[in-house]
Amino acid sequence: MTSTALTGIGLLVTHDPEFGELRDAALIIDEDRIAWIGQPADVPAADDATDLDGRCVIPGFVDSHTHLVFAGDRAPEFEARMAGQPYTAGGIQSTVAATRAASDDELTAHAATLLAEMLASGTTTTEIKTGYGLSTVDEQRSAQVAARLSDDVTFLGAHVVPPEYADRPEDYVALVTGPMLDACAPHCRWIDVFCDRGAFDADQVRAILTAGAARGLGLRVHANQLAHGPGVQLAVELGAASADHCTHLSDADVQALAGSATVATLLPGAEFSTRSPYPDARLLLDAGVTVALATDCNPGSSYTSNMAFCIALAVREMGMTPAEALWAASAGGARALRRDDVGVIAVGARADLVALRAPSPVHLAYRPGVPLVEATWKDGQPISARL
């Protein structure tokens, strides 16, 4: 197959300034790219054609924050938390133990299953972090597993300090910025650090991100999830592509983000599954901050992989309009990954598309929990919604 015409699109939401939203549209996929967008009457010849019978088409979701490389689950911890136990970063250690014990093939198969689930639910670009290895060999294995599945792999050796370094965290920072970074950097595009209570402090974060930048990695920060802290300010100061979580922000944090190229990536699945207050997306948007939505898919604090669910939460809980939430879940995620080839339906962009069983993407929030993704195309290839 070289080119396919998608016809009968009832509503095409492009996120492209030239095209905006088109009613009764068509487009041409050429190999892995979008080659043409326009009215059905003008559609050029193509090798193949699919009639979408009036369905709505949107850009594939861009999930810029996931932790897909792990083993085991933490359902009992979830049940305990829902019964009143607080969430802390400490639970990560149980996943670290399971991940270290798993083979590369097991880790790959599990991550691939989650990725297939995400593709079927409309997510066509997925960043994947390491961070459940926390030894040089296990972080390297995690990075290699992630690199088989994603172009956007993030080294998160600085997720938490592992138990064997509990009484000498500075030695762990030296490991992360030294041999572990050496082992992982060749497989990664990004470096991230969990800057929060119970994780890493400002000096440690600065040392880790600076070391990563020196190896050519782009910067990301887990910032201000569990409490106020220096994460957002550091992210802006160091030019990070994204500050993620942003649950507890001061006015100065909001102003810093607004004056920067750092995206605020909000992860409402984490607030849902830890029964925490949600970040104030409305405040950020009104201040001019670029906002992305991501799932944070991980076995501890947010085991959803479903971007539509996060859109529904963003509208219900965070003051976003349905249109803002859709943009944040696709174009916003692309900004957070500093990519211009995804998150938008534009000539030359990747043919990453979602057809909805709904007349408009408002239904993603209006019909919460309902699987509305009927078909997904990634790099021009159709993916069944059935796993």
What single letter denotes the amino acid at residue 215?
R
One of 260, 273, 298, 376 touching a copy of itself (CB under 8 A): 273
Which CB, 318 or 349, lies closer to a copy of itself?
A: 318
Cα–Cα dist 348/31, whole Å = 11
By the rule CB under 8 A, 23 interacts with a copy of itself: no
Q: How far is the CB of 302 from a copy of itself (least distance, A)?
A: 9
Helix, strand, coil proportions of the chain in percent (round to 5)?
40, 25, 40
Burial, 384: exposed, middle or buried (Cβ in 10 Å; 0-12, 13-18, 19+)? exposed
Tell whether residue 93 is a contact of a copy of itself (CB under 8 A): no
- The DSSP output letter for 279 is P
Question: Which residues in the 53-92 window bind a copy of itself by CB under 8 A?
Answer: 73, 75, 78-79, 82-83
Under the binding rule (CB under 8 A), the answer on residue 265 touching a copy of itself is no
Nearest-angstrom CA–CA distance, 307 and 369 = 10
> Nearest distance from residue 325's CB to a copy of itself, in Å?
10
> Which residue, 23 or 386, has its beta carbon nearer to a copy of itself?
386
When the beta carbons of 206 and 316 are compared against a copy of itself, the nearer one is 316
**115 touches a copy of itself (CB under 8 A):** no
Q: Where in 230-336 does DSSP place strands (E)? A: 242-245, 263-266, 291-293
CA nearest to 88, candidates 266, 226, 231:
226
* Residue from 87, 309, 327, 377 in contact with a copy of itself (CB under 8 A): 309
β-pair partners for 219: 191
What six digits make up the tokens of 274?
A: 């830890």
Single out the residue of 382, 349, 383, 355 nearest to residue 371, CA to CA: 355
Interaction between residue 360 and a copy of itself (CB under 8 A): yes
Question: 47 near 4, Cβ under 8 Å?
Answer: yes
For 83, residues 6+ apart whose C-beta sits below 8 A from its C-beta are none
In the bound state with a copy of itself, the residue whose beta carbon lies nearer, of 106 and 374, is 374
- Is 356 a binding residue for a copy of itself by CB under 8 A? The answer is no
Q: Should residue 310 be labelled a site residue for a copy of itself when binding is judged by CB under 8 A?
A: yes
Binding-site member from 237, 341, 362, 379 for a copy of itself (CB under 8 A): 362
Regarding 385 and contact with a copy of itself (CB under 8 A), the answer is yes
**Contact set with a copy of itself (CB under 8 A):** 73, 75, 78-79, 82-83, 117, 120-121, 269, 272-273, 275, 303-306, 308-310, 312, 315-316, 321-322, 357, 359-360, 362-363, 365-371, 374, 384-387
